[in-house]
């Protein structure tokens, strides 16, 4: 038997529809237009693609999009000034500073200058602390997307063994925290983990966020497990390149109960969750009920 494919493209379209419906209600009932400001410093080609995509999807959802493109040699002080302006701008409900920043800037200082209420990436230390203590917070977009997919597929996850492979601040750690909040028994594996295949074989839910193409083998997966592959790795194929995940998809597909493909799994969920977080931020700021199915 092959695994059920968890279609992130279709699910993210449903999330964007929910966002757009909520935005339409905010506009008509409260005269409010959720606004997202995205700041890009420098010319990194991948970041330019992400920022374009974020702008397009924000506008398509009926929200206001404010783009700020700054040259590579912008000083940290100038960037912090812009962040302060956006913090004080009532039309802006969400602020995202596209990473990576140029090396002369201290990314933590910039992220922590963003008002926690507008920190739609969920990277501010206050939001990390709120998530860690099980309180309402802005949740980082990629783990939020993974969790929404898991909830949709599994419903109640209470008591399940979840293994998160990777312990980065943007994916692994918040993902583990979210699964803990869902009452899973959570293990975080990383580069120093001993007997990794054996640890992974215990997972009813496996989230791979390691950045190593097809590292997770079929026989590392518990039969029937739900596998979420966060990895986005570009590998050469003949004259061209192709995207693969951190999981050997063909092998895992024979063992897992359900699996996200790459591309078309977690990837499309990330921007959809950025839009969802912007609506959540707008509602919180204005003391309005949060949109259903878009938060945790
Ligand atoms: P990082 O490089 O920040 O973290 C990778 C983690 O994997 C680290 O914790 C590292 O362990 C661990 N690791 C590395 N090698 C091994 C190994 N051989 N065995 C066990 N663990 C290992 O990556 P990110 O979390 O930022 O990203 C992970 C992947 O997810 C990447 O492919 C990235 O492109 C993708 N991604 C996708 C997104 C999306 O929208 N779908 C968004 C963000 C990321 P240690 O801490 O010990 O070094």
Instruction: Report which secondary-structure segment, H or E, holds 10.
Output: helix 8-30
pLDDT band at 27 (very low <50, low <70, confident <90, very high): very high
Choosing from 12, 232, 234 the residue with most ligand 1 atoms within 8 A of its CB, the one to mutate for a pocket test is 232
Task: Please list, in sequence order, all residues whose beta carbon lies within 8 angstroms of the beta carbon of residue 237, skipping any fewer than 6 positions away.
Answer: none
Q: Average model confidence (pLDDT) for the chain? A: 97
- pLDDT tens per residue, range 8-26: 999 999 999 999 999 999 9
Q: Is residue 67 scored above 90 in pLDDT? A: yes
pLDDT in tens, 172-225: 999 999 999 999 999 999 999 999 999 999 999 999 999 999 999 999 999 999
What is the CA 114 to chain-centroid distance, rounded? 18
**Residue 89 bears catalytic tag:** no
Nearest to 64 by CA among 51, 73, 55: 55
CA–CA separation, 250 and 13 (whole Å): 25
Cβ(26)–Cβ(33) under 8 Å?
A: yes
Does the beta carbon of 211 sit less than 6 angstroms from any atom of ligand 1? Answer: yes
Using the mean position of ligand 1's atoms as its centre, give its distance from the Cα of residue 284 in Å.
31
Q: Over 90: is that where the pLDDT of 1 sits?
A: no
Predicted confidence (pLDDT) per residue in 244-295, tens digit = 999 999 999 999 999 999 999 999 999 999 999 999 999 999 999 999 999 9
- Please give the DSSP secondary-structure letter assigned to residue 225: -
Residue 222 designated active-site: no
Residue 236 CA to ligand 1 center (angstroms) comes to: 20
Q: Is 98 designated active site? A: yes
261 lines ligand 1 (CB under 6 A): no
Q: Which domains does the chain have, with CATH numbers?
A: 31-117 (3.40.50.10860), 141-259 (3.40.50.720)
Query: Residue 79: which of 49, 116, 45, 37 has the closest Cα?
Result: 37
How does pLDDT run across 79-137, given as a tens digit for each residue? 999 999 999 999 999 999 999 999 999 999 999 999 999 999 999 999 999 999 999 99
**What whole-number percentage of the chain has pLDDT above 70?**
100
Residue-level pLDDT at 208: 99
3-state secondary structure of 208: strand
Tell me the CA–centroid distance for residue 86 and ligand 1, in Å. 31
What is the spatial distance between Cα 64 and Cα 48, in angstroms, rounded to a whole number?
A: 19
Q: Residue 51 pLDDT more than 90?
A: yes
């Amino acid at each position: 038997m092959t695994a059920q494919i968890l279609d992130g493209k279709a699910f993210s379209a449903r999330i964007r529809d929910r966002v757009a419906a909520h935005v339409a209600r905010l506009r008509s009932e409260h005269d409010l237009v959720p606004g997202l400001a995205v700041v890009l410093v420098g010319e990194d080609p991948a970041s330019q693609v992400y920022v374009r995509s974020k702008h397009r999807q924000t506008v398509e959802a009926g929200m206001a999009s404010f783009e700020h493109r700054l040259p590579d040699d912008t000083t940290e002080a100038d960037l912090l000034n812009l962040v302060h302006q956006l913090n004080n701008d009532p039309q802006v409900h969400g602020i995202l500073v596209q990473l990576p920043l140029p090396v002369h800037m201290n990314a933590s200082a910039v992220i922590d200058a963003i008002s926690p209420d507008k920190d739609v990436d969920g990277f501010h230390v206050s939001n990390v602390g709120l998530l860690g203590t099980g309180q309402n917070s802005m949740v980082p977009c990629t783990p939020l997307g993974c969790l929404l997919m898991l909830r949709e597929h599994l419903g109640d996850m209470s008591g399940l063994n979840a293994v998160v492979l990777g312990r980065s601040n943007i994916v692994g750690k918040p993902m583990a925290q979210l699964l803990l909040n869902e009452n899973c028994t959570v293990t975080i594996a990383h580069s120093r983990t001993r007997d990794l295949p054996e640890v992974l074989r215990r997972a009813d839910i496996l989230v791979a966020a390691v950045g190593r193409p097809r590292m997770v083998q079929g026989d590392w997966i518990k039969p029937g497990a739900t596998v979420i592959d966060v990895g986005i790795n570009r590998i050469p194929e003949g004259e061209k390149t192709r995207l693969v995940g951190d999981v050997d998809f063909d092998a895992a597909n024979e063992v897992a109960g359900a699996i996200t493909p790459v591309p078309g799994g977690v990837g499309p969920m990330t921007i959809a969750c950025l839009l969802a977080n912007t609506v959540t931020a707008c509602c919180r700021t204005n003391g309005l009920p949060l949109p259903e199915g878009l938060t945790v």
